[in-house]
Structure 1
Amino acid sequence: MADFVVLATADWDHPLWTNKQHTAVSLAELGHRVLYVESLGLRPPRPGTADLPRILKRFRRLLRLPREVRPGLWVWSPPVIPGATRGRGLIVNKWLVQSGLKLVKRWLGFLKPLLWTYNPLTLAYLDISTFSGTVYHCVDSIQDQPGMPSARITAGERRLCEAVNVVFTTAPVLQQRLKPLNPHTLYFGNVADECHFRQASSASLSCPDALQAVPKPRMLFIGALDAYKLDLPLLEQLIRTTPQWSYVLVGPIGECDASTDLSAILALPNVHWPGIQPYRDLPAWLAHADVALLPLQLNDYTRQMFPMKFFEYLASGRPTVATAIPSLVPHREAALLCEPTVAAFKAAIHTALAGGGPSAAVGQARAAEHTYTKRTDRMLAVLQQLGLLRCNRPISGAGAEVASGLLISFLQRLTLQPLLLLECVRPGSGGRIAPWNTRLLERLVRRELNSRNWIAAVELYALLWQRHGTVAELHRLMFRRGAR
């Protein structure tokens, strides 16, 4: 099992969990040790007191050791100066993060962990060469969010993609944008905590107190109510023209967009805003709703996103009506997708209330295919194939033939350039302490490569991997910039 440092852009106890927390949990559940590093602050604090509680909470945790929140999963709040993202302030923050992380890794016994980062500005704070492998998990276009330093994030993300070993994206458009920067850019769409939200299909869940007085039929939205991604004009007009329906909006207002103004919508008599609800209670809200809504805009941000709540809605068994953004189109047989117009949404809701559209079983089956554990397992398989993560199960059968064929093809292509080979393949294993026969095997590998004995080289690599868990020389061949 491996050790992972997850560099997040959200605090662990944020009420709206996203990829960061769920991926950390799934890594731990798969048997790995995980250090979850809370947000370093991508944007400066907003004027006023909106960010004050979060800043005060961070200050209270500065001198604390990492806290174990689950078996094998620790959370650490790095000691950074809020808003210091340039000049001397950034220099101080970089020193604080690097020094603090070094001490925390030593305290936890993380000798050579892998870095799994969500922060596009990672290189401004960390020397990623100190990790045994690096992953950038790009889950949305952060630079298109309001208040973000867009140019700085875009430039930092480009540098990061060129430097890391692998880039995972959650939307096809993100993959298209980042793949020219790193050939190992792969698409893994967003998923859901399927078991948690499937509880909504159980008749045993009682109706939340705040929902009992709301007349049926109930249209439910769960998530951050932000103007930069939700189509608020569409939603307001839809609500005004359908007074016979109740609209329940669960979540914080202006979480990422301080300009969000819902006063006109909340003033309507058929709108109910219970605020933020505990994550554990969300299945009960869905269980007693009639339609789950996802009224998104079509803009640069939403074209590059995959809303997490989509599969959460499907897992609950609720009819789902959503804007047909690019990432959702492949799943149109599981939900009612429509253009962002009042007429289209109204027609889709009528269809859902009449029992038309995809069945609950179809939606739940689709959600069951897209869980955090399954996606994380597939991502780890990629890391194993690239030599970044030791495989605990030997590859056999057809898988072994494919792997050997790919490796032979790769070695042939790469070693046709003798000078490149001599430059890349050097004695040693990157400072890693290994038994004497490991170094001997590596020398034998280099000899076979120089002689172009591909089969023998592959067999020796397999021996190194199975006995010692090291393919350092192959790793250098695959990930040096010129080899890409």
Structure 2
Amino acid sequence: MPETANNDGKTRRDIVLLSTADWSHPCWTNKQYVGRELAAAGHRVLYVESLGLRQPSLREGRDMRRIFRRLMRMFRPMVKVNEHLYVYTPFVIPLHRYALVRRINRGLFNLSLRLIMRVLRMDADLLWTYNPITTATTDLQRFKTVVYHCVDNIAAMPGLPKETIEQREPELIRNADAIFTSAPALQDKCAALNSNTHYFHNVAEFEHFNQATRVDLPVAEPLRDIQGVIVGFVGALSDYKVDFNIIAGIAAARPDWTIYLLGQLGESILCRDDSALRQHDNIVLHGPVDYAELPSYLKRFDVVLLPMLINEYTKSVFPMKFFEYLAAGKPLVSTRLPAITEYRHLVRLADDAKGFVAAIEDILRNNCPPRAGIEEAQKHSYPARTQAMMEIVAQTQGER
């Protein structure tokens, strides 16, 4: 049955979650967290990995390695994560800009999805999608309820099929039974086409990141011998999102500070020029670290950064790092991202490297207490947000 009630009286549903990220990606985003929380609430979740929106480059080693890993997973296309959560790796041709390929992919994907659901004895109850071209790949009419969780302006990302997305996403928005958005600009866009649109900004795993405030937590080994001020950043270093010139400008203005960058440099071909970050000896390009280790790095950071570009993509971004930083008790300096305007009392805002340096120096002089940021971050958790979303879904009657 698609809906069942447990002993606690809560309704359990069969949910197909169409992601735009692989489950095993080292940097989790909304897709993995929501899948995990839905399963933790007792729903049965089939997490469908990325359908390959971006065409891979055969000249990119990272793309080729990802293609190889996906091909290997296709020989074991379904993995059981726990009692309620399964991960499925679909076979698709990542050339969505071509109509013929989209038709082939639609046929292949819907057939394989039916088979997988039959094996799991899942009903076509709830489709929860992050993919803006879902109407091109999936038969919405099969599902009782369709939810579109819009967390990015994906059409503005380089390397993606912009025309296809701009054609298909409005169709998905109009046909979804409920829409959830993560930034005010996304809320405005979706609400104009669907009145059942609800704003839920990004949240954080408070308990995990708040470990950085513990006196007994050891500082990460690579940071123990660094003297002086450490200014830190955590996240993917892609030049369409992050302003490398601001980071380089901070390093140039204060060579006595260490600028410590934790994260993957670029996302495949989406980072074209990182030369600005390699011109200063006090910039450390550490690379990504295991999620479990992040609090031990954050503990040593004196100030953390959100040096984001302001462009068509980032105008629709509420950084996941925002509440993660605050939960860690770290003073934060950011560019003026529209999505964080309501929390500007918790962050220092600056427009360029000079402004960032001035804000950091003021923070260091005044030893700004982190209590307000920690208290605000504690209010915004994945379980609470997911529960609120599912309450809306429960009130939504699909007409598929």
Query: With structure 2 as the length reference, what TM-score do the two structures score?
Result: 0.93
Q: Letter of the aligned partner of 1:43 in structure 2?
A: R
Is it true that 1:31 corresponds to 2:50 in the alignment? Answer: no
Name the structure 2 match of 1:361: 371
Name the structure 2 match of 1:240: 252
Is it true that 1:204 corresponds to 2:226 in the alignment? Answer: no
More helix by share: 1
Kept in 1: contact 2:20–2:51 (CA 8 A)? yes
Kept in 2: contact 1:7–1:116 (CA 8 A)? yes
Question: For residues 4-153 of structure 1, what are the structure 2 equivalents within 5 Å?
Answer: 4-48=15-59, 49-83=61-95, 85-153=97-165
- Rounded to whole Å, the distance in 2 between the matches of 1:237 and 1:311 is 25
Instruction: Give unmatched runs, 5+ long, in structure 2.
Output: 1-11
Q: Letter of the aligned partner of 1:297 in structure 2?
A: L
Is it true that 1:260 corresponds to 2:272 in the alignment? Answer: yes
CA change 1:382–1:206 in 2 (3 A) is: same
Superimposed CA distance per residue, residues 171-230 of structure 1 (whole angstroms, 9 cap, x where no aligned partner): 011111121111111111011111111111112222222222333211110000011111
Question: For residues 157-196 of structure 1, what are the structure 2 equivalents within 5 Å?
Answer: 157-196=169-208
Question: For residues 304-453 of structure 1, what are the structure 2 equivalents within 5 Å?
Answer: 304-336=316-348, 338-357=349-368, 359-387=369-397
Is it true that 1:221 corresponds to 2:233 in the alignment? Answer: yes
Kept in 1: contact 2:350–2:359 (CA 8 A)? no
CA change 1:132–1:15 in 2 (3 A) is: same
Taking only aligned residues, the RMSD between alpha carbons, in angstroms, comes to: 1.6
Q: Secondary structure at the match of 1:275?
A: coil
Identity across the alignment (%): 39
Name the structure 1 match of 2:3: none
Q: Secondary structure at the match of 2:242?
A: coil
Kept in 1: contact 2:212–2:328 (CA 8 A)? yes
Is it true that 1:274 corresponds to 2:263 in the alignment? Answer: no
1:257: Cα distance to partner? 5.1
Q: More displaced, 136-145 or 247-256? A: 247-256
Q: Secondary structure at the match of 1:140?
A: coil
1:355: Cα distance to partner? 3.6
Question: For residues 280-295 of structure 1, what are the structure 2 equivalents within 5 Å?
Answer: 280-295=292-307
Q: Letter of the aligned partner of 1:222 in structure 2?
A: V
- Rounded to whole Å, the distance in 1 between the matches of 2:226 and 2:106 is 51
1:24: Cα distance to partner? 0.6
- Rounded to whole Å, the distance in 2 between the matches of 1:98 and 1:374 is 32
Q: More displaced, 104-113 or 255-264? A: 255-264
Q: Letter of the aligned partner of 1:261 in structure 2?
A: D
Kept in 2: contact 1:146–1:257 (CA 8 A)? no
- Rounded to whole Å, the distance in 2 between the matches of 1:205 and 1:267 is 33
- Rounded to whole Å, the distance in 2 between the matches of 1:369 and 1:291 is 22
CA change 1:85–1:94 in 2 (3 A) is: farther
- Rounded to whole Å, the distance in 2 between the matches of 1:291 and 1:122 is 40
Q: Secondary structure at the match of 1:333?
A: helix
Q: Secondary structure at the match of 1:215?
A: coil
Kept in 1: contact 2:46–2:86 (CA 8 A)? yes
Q: Secondary structure at the match of 2:264?
A: coil
1:368: Cα distance to partner? 1.0
1:111: Cα distance to partner? 1.4
Name the structure 2 match of 1:401: none
Q: Secondary structure at the match of 1:64?
A: coil
Instruction: Give unmatched runs, 5+ long, in structure 1.
Output: 388-474, 480-484
Q: Secondary structure at the match of 1:247?
A: strand
Superimposed CA distance per residue, residues 433-481 of structure 1 (whole angstroms, 9 cap, x where no aligned partner): xxxxxxxxxxxxxxxxxxxxxxxxxxxxxxxxxxxxxxxxxx55xx9xx
Q: Secondary structure at the match of 1:377?
A: helix
Kept in 2: contact 1:200–1:317 (CA 8 A)? yes
Q: Secondary structure at the match of 2:67?
A: helix
- Rounded to whole Å, the distance in 1 between the matches of 2:150 and 2:176 is 12
Kept in 1: contact 2:306–2:333 (CA 8 A)? yes
Q: Letter of the aligned partner of 2:387 in structure 1?
A: D
- Rounded to whole Å, the distance in 2 between the matches of 1:214 and 1:258 is 31
Q: Letter of the aligned partner of 1:6 in structure 2?
A: L
Name the structure 2 match of 1:396: none
1:77: Cα distance to partner? 0.3
Q: More displaced, 284-293 or 86-95? A: 86-95
- Rounded to whole Å, the distance in 1 between the matches of 2:396 and 2:94 is 37
1:386: Cα distance to partner? 2.1
Kept in 1: contact 2:57–2:269 (CA 8 A)? no
- Rounded to whole Å, the distance in 2 between the matches of 1:108 and 1:102 is 10
Q: How many residue pairs were aligned?
A: 388
